[in-house]
Every structure is written in structure tokens, then in C-alpha cells.
A and B are shown apart, each in its own frame.
Chain A
């Protein structure tokens, strides 16, 4: 393969990575609509998980949120799930029957960062949508119970909702050193804990880089033999929602999708939902125009930095990272790392602590070009792990001009 050829670079940076086909034709959406309507009607006929039904409308009022705030959220979520606008009423209804799906959330080798990110989400706050309306049966950070009572609650939830609950796991699992996580009156290792709860769950959702791919604990030399959920749980549907922390919007997205369809969203080969991880940071980056123009920050604090130029040369891994934070951002859309000139560290990709995480420009990093596998395979496997020093040196302007062709292509697609 002629790696440095203009055509080749062009193909790398113009490859449509959006694997969700956003227009699948009227027939497809009509069928999907019917299917979702049916599922929602089934859920509506069911009892809420908790005895007392809380009315969604009342909830909006007690949280001092207007119907308009809620509808805004509905549009955003519908778009995020890549459904056409006519699905908005269904998404609104899905939010209203969220309390039919029980949730158990456990923390293993974690830092609680994903829980914290989720707690810090609003509009309308997932605090009300998730915490109150959604039936969280067990969550170590927010539950009041401790000690034996906590353990009992968990047992009871597993028994009462056998085969029905969604299991959320935060943190990696130390298979190499069981002592690194052993807890409870009847001490259970992390592996036993996760396996047991997964066995009785409807599906398992790994939240954050640690639960998905081992995260920081699994970085070299991986002192505790940390792995992700998919390395130990077999025979159950699994969704990975990586990033550090996972974006709360994506967590809600997966839940809403499950409520709408009774199924998990379409996943890529790393089990990430395509609606969130189907495209690269770079595809929607606010600094992209500067990349295209070949305008880069060359050094922290330089003129380029003051003018928000592209951070590629400062080690931004946006072109190799599949995630939607360039659109969704963090803390209710307040900002994201590229917004403060720091660059993307690739936190939704496996092994990124050893491979991508640093501010080392690719020139100094260990990232290997995909070589024989070809770019396309690599895109899906490791999130486009490529480009070497020389490419950057020679390639930047070539790439820049190649990119210029991209906009036309996208237009065509739409």
C-alpha cells in the first residue's frame, strides 16, 4: 500500500465513518415506528417497577421544568439516536415509561467518575429522569443503605427482577489479583460479583473506559490484571459505553433505545453503540476548518493557540477517536477538552492510556499504521490507529487539500 500517496491520505480522511445509515427509506422507518409503538404500548400496560406510580407530568413540575424544556431534550435525544424527527413523540413516551425497566449499577475497580458525570447532567436533569423516574434498584453512590442492608437490597432486586434488569458496571475487574477487589460480608471477588449479576440480567452495560476495556488500571504493566466486562461475561448481550468519563447523554441514549425497541442499539465491533461512536471526533470538530486550512497550534500559548487553530500537532487524537463529544460535549453542553485547547486524548479507544492518551504528537507516539490490515479494517477495529511521523511531516498539506474535497461528498450523501 502506498501510504503517503495523496489518494491514500484522501481516503483516510474522507472515509465516511458514519456507519449508521441515516436515511434508510420510508418503508424502514414506517416499520420501525410500528414496532416501537407496539413495544411502548406493552410497557404502558405493565406496572411500574416501584409500587406507587409517579406521574411524569407531576415530576416535571416538581423539578420546575417546563414541557418546553422537556421537548427540547426529546428533540436532542431523537437526533442523537439518529432517528428522524417524526419519532419525537415516541421518544417522549419512552421517557415517560422509563420506570418499567429496573436498573442495577455496580462499581468495581472504579473512580466513581461515571456516576459523578451522570449525577452532573441536566436538561431535564437525568437526576430526575434516571434517578427518580427510572427505577434504580441499587447504586452505591446514591443509595442511602449501607452494610448488610445494602447487600440485602441487592439480593432482593436480583430475585425480584430476575432476567429483567439492566446491569450497569463501572470500573474494571482485576482477574490477575482477586485481592484487589474483594468486598462484602460474604466476601466476593470482583469477577464473581460481575458474573453473578450478569447471569441474571437482561443485558450488561459497561460504562466508562475501565469497564469497557480495562481503562487506566489495565495500562502497562497492568499490576492487578484488570480487564473489561466483555472479557469475563459471556452469553449475555453487552454494550460498551467507553470514554473517561462516559458521556451521560450516551448512557441515557442506550436506555431510551432499549425502552423504545426492547433491544440494544446497533453496535460496532467493539460493542459501542453506533449512534454515539459511529464517527470520529475530528469529523465534527469546531477546529476542523483550521485543520483543513493547514493552520495548527505549534506550541502551547502561541498565536495559533489564541486563534483556536487545530491541535493536531499538539497531539490531538481526534482523527483516531470515535465518539460524539464534539457534538454533545460535557456538563450539559458547557464545553469539551478541545474547547480549552487541550486536544483529544482518545479516551473512547481501547488501550488509549498506553497508545493515545498523551500529548505526544503522533510523531513521538507508539501508534502504528494499520499496515497490511488496510485502513478500513482498522477504522472499525482500533479506531483508525494510524499515521506516522513522516506522514505528518509530509502529509499535512496534502491532507489539508485532500480534505477540501470532503464537503462535496458529504453533501452528496445528504
Chain B
């Protein structure tokens, strides 16, 4: 019998560690370890509900704004569940979508240039790739530069990035001027221009009609996406990194993101089917446990008993995008397709942002006061939000004006959590069977690792 070897890769990205079991030069099993825990859910307990609006964005320095939106939606849902109709002005909705989209775009750009492309320098010795070298590479810098640019849109409407707290039940506190809206339009246009020239290698409208990989490669001028796809084909990354081929999206961002779950067929998302399993987590129903078989601060989360991937790829599939339905048909949910979906999403959101900015009516109010004080409400409620890495769920329970229980399920809990007794997490499954630790790292990164989100 072949000998089983164990290796540990620490700090694969941020704090995430990877424990790998090898047999005959292949990865026989993979454990994703999230070793950093802060305990937000405990800290929220007993605090007034509105405190969650300032505390929760601090769950993550990269997608904190998504946590703000999930929180505010949970509070608004609390009103609805109590039979209090809550009205949100169109302007506030547009502003929330705009800022959320900026945060998602900054994340994807940063991730593509700071995490994904530098990996290829280790895989491929072609000197042309030097432009992707961290800090020194010209494209690396540009990527960082434009990801800094787009977050200024969050700052314009939300005050700062990271960590904004300007959304409140009933709307937003900001009242932008025409000048500020124009500033945001200028930023979005410049990022779009960068995106078309540097990433797509073709105009946006042409790209939108692309139906498959070959068609794209034939028509694109040299660009970073084209270079990336060619590298994937060269190193067989269109064949590895497959997870469960099951996709979950909890929330709409019209028109390019629609909620739903896809197993073989697409169905509606039903929150009652979501369950957390703590069999391998240090954090348990009863408190903490450091038993030998537990290995992560994250819990596993299952939908209808099964692991699902939640990500930009899941959003493309649940949105029935033709290109991605074809890609998944041809290459499954592989490394290449998962990564491409993130890059694709940048375009969809930039185009939406342009439209939303033109729809803002600055004369409209930004806030409609709810009829009741949130302190008078009791009960349980959910806030759903699509964040950069996938679907985010906040659950709040309020009693006597205080938070009784708060539960957070992040995209990374779905993708990078530990196993449950029956299934590995999607990323663990995707890593199993690979032949090198570099590939294991790369596949893990295709899920866009965020350790702090995984555990919170």
C-alpha cells in the first residue's frame, strides 16, 4: 500500500492554511484551516440592534460594505416581519447598489492582479509575464491603481472605504450633489476604459456577444484576460479545480445577478433549507471545542443537505448567462471558468453602474423614516446580500430592544469551510486529486480566499 504523507502549507493567503495528505504523488485529501477567530456573533449579543450597523462592516476589511448592506437589510426585514411596511427611496436603492458594486469590482481587480496572475510567474518562466510581478510589474500596478480608483465611488456616497456605515433602515444618510454624481461617472468611465483595453482586449459590446472560449480568443486583441486564458490552456487549468457543480445565489442585483440555486436545474432559493454543521469546527452549538478532529474556526454550511458553491460563477449560472452556461458545459466548474466569471462580472457591474448613476434623481429624498423605532420591534429576520466572493447571509434575533442572537454566514463559509460528516467543502473537493502544492494553492485562490470572512 502506498504511504500517505502529510504536508502543511501555512499562510496560503492571509491566514488560511492547507493541510494536504498525499498518496502516490497525488493529493488524497485536503483540509482548509482557518485559524483566526474574533467572535463577532458573541460581541453583537446584548447590544442595541443599530450597533450592528457600525460593528459589522468591521468583519472584513475587503468586503465590509457588503456586511453593512446585509445588516441593514436584516434590520429592514425585522420591520417587515413585524408587519411594518418599510419604504426605501429609489435613490437610496441606487446608491446602495452603486457602492456595493464598486466594492465588488475593486475586489475582483485586486484579486486578479495581486493574487491570480502572480501565481503564473511560479508556473511559467516566460519573461513576458514579468509585467504581473508583485509591486514591480506594470500591470500589477495598474490593477492596484484602478482598484483604488473605483473605491472612491464608495467614499463619495459612503464616506470612506474600507468600513462604511452610511446605510440605515429606510435609506442612506448621504445626499449627493450633481457634482459628486458627475465625479462618480468620471471614475466609472475611466475604469471601464481600462477594463476594455487592458483586460478584455475588445470593446464591451463586442464581448457581450461572445458565446464561447474559441470565439473570445479569436477576436480579442492581446490583453490580460486573453493571456490568462492561454496560460490556463497551456497548463491544463481548464481541467482542474472542479467542485460540486452546484451553484447558489441568495440575492438579486438587477439586471446581471439573479438569485436561485442550480443543481441540475435552476430553482428558487429557500432560506429554510440552509443549515450549519459544526462537526469539524472549533465553534460549536455549545461553545468552543478543540477536540482532535476539529480543524477550523469556520463551520460547514449546507443547502438541502448538500454543499453548494457561491461565487461570481454561481451568479453567472443562476443568471443563465449564455457564455457561462456554455463554458460550464465545455469545461465544468474548473479553475479557468471560475476565475473568468469573476473577471466577467466586473464588466456587468460597471455597465450597470453607469446606468444607475444616470438614474439618480438628486431631488429625491435619500431616506424615509420607518414608522416605528427599531427598539420596539421583536423577532427574527434575515439580510441577504451578494458580496464579492459570493452570497452573504445575516440572521438577527431581537428581544426587548437588544440583539438576542446574531448569525453570519459568509461566502467563504460556503466555499472554504471545513467538511461535514458526509461531504468535503467545495474548495476541499476541488483540491483533491491535484498533483502539486502550487496547483492546490492556485485552486484554493480561485475561490478568492478571505480568512477573516471565513471565521468572523
Contact = CB atoms under 8 A, between A and B. Distances in A.
A336 interface: yes
B368 interface: yes
Interface string B123-166: 00000000000111010010011011001101111111111111
A179 B9 CA distance: 18
A186 to B, nearest CB: 9
Interface string B30-69: 0000011111101101101011011100111110100000
B340 interface: no
Contacts of B290: 179
B173 A115 contact: no
A120 B148 contact: yes
Contacts of B61: 110-117, 245
Given A113-B163, A185-B8, A331 B152 contact: yes
A141 B368 CA distance: 40
Nearest to A325: B160
A147 B148 contact: no
Contact of B36 (A115, A181, A215, A339): A181
A216 B162 contact: no
Interface in A92-118: 107-117
B452 interface: yes
A148 B37 contact: no
Q: Which of B12, B141, B288 has the most CB of A within 10 A?
A: B141
Contacts of B433: none
Contact of B51 (A132, A181, A329, A357): A357
B272 to A, nearest CB: 29
Main secondary structure of the interface of B (DSSP, over half): mixed
Interface stretch (B13-21, B251-259, B263-271, B342-350): B13-21
A125 interface: yes
Q: Which of A111, A185, A220, A359 has the most CB of B within 10 A?
A: A111
Contact of A179 (B50, B59, B134, B282): B282
A343 to B, nearest CB: 8
A29 B38 CA distance: 46
A404 interface: no
B81 interface: no
B12 A147 contact: yes
B396 to A, nearest CB: 16
Contacts of A342: 159, 165-166, 173-174
B212 interface: no
B112 interface: no
B365 interface: yes
A393 interface: no
Given A331-B155, A345-B54, A144 B145 contact: no
A289 interface: no
Interface string A200-221: 0000000000000001110111
Interface in A292-318: 299-301, 305-306
B171 interface: yes
A119 B144 contact: yes
A112 B55 contact: no
Nearest to B106: A120
A306 B160 contact: no
A143 to B, nearest CB: 7
B100 interface: no
Interface string B99-115: 00000000000100010
B407 interface: no
B135 A132 contact: yes
Contacts of A113: 58, 60-62, 64, 162-163
A409 to B, nearest CB: 31
A231 interface: no
Given A185-B8, A216-B43, A305-B173, A331 B160 contact: yes
Nearest to B176: A340
A300 B367 contact: yes
B292 to A, nearest CB: 13
Contact of B38 (A63, A120, A216): A216
Contacts of A329: 160
Interface in B435-453: 437, 441, 452
A331 B38 CA distance: 27
B175 interface: yes
Contacts of A341: 166, 173-175
Contacts of B8: 185
Given A144-B118, A146-B441, A331-B152, A336 B50 contact: no
Given A120-B151, A217-B38, A306-B175, A335 B160 contact: yes
B36 A300 contact: no
A216 B151 contact: no
B55 A110 contact: no
B135 A142 contact: yes
Contacts of A330: 155, 159-161
A360 interface: yes
A326 to B, nearest CB: 12
A244 interface: yes
A147 B437 contact: yes
B134 A244 contact: no
B398 to A, nearest CB: 15
A199 interface: no
Contacts of B365: 301
A401 interface: no
B369 interface: yes
B165 A334 contact: no
A132 B452 CA distance: 26
A359 B160 CA distance: 17
Contacts of B175: 305-306, 341
Interface in A355-382: 357-360
B418 interface: no
A224 interface: yes
A399 to B, nearest CB: 24
Contacts of B54: 345, 353, 357-359
Contact of A127 (B14, B50, B141): B141
B377 interface: no
B11 A147 contact: yes
A223 interface: yes
A335 B154 CA distance: 9
Contacts of A305: 173, 175, 367
A52 to B, nearest CB: 11
Nearest to A115: B61
Contacts of B48: 358, 360
Q: Which of A148, A301, A338 has the most CB of B within 10 A?
A: A301
B369 to A, nearest CB: 6
Given A111-B61, A341-B173, A132 B136 contact: yes
Contact of B35 (A183, A226, A359): A183
A196 B452 CA distance: 24
Contacts of A299: 369
Contacts of A112: 14, 60-62, 452
B366 interface: yes
A90 interface: no
A217 B168 CA distance: 23
Given A216-B43, A360-B48, A337 B37 contact: no
Interface of A: 62-63, 107-117, 119-122, 125, 127-128, 131-132, 140-144, 146-148, 150-151, 172, 174, 177, 179-185, 215-217, 219-224, 226, 244-245, 299-301, 305-306, 329-332, 334-342, 345, 353, 357-360
5 contacts: A113-B163, A116-B62, A132-B136, A150-B10, A340-B173
Q: Which 6 A-B pairs have the closest CB atoms?
A: A113-B61, A301-B367, A223-B39, A330-B160, A340-B174, A334-B155
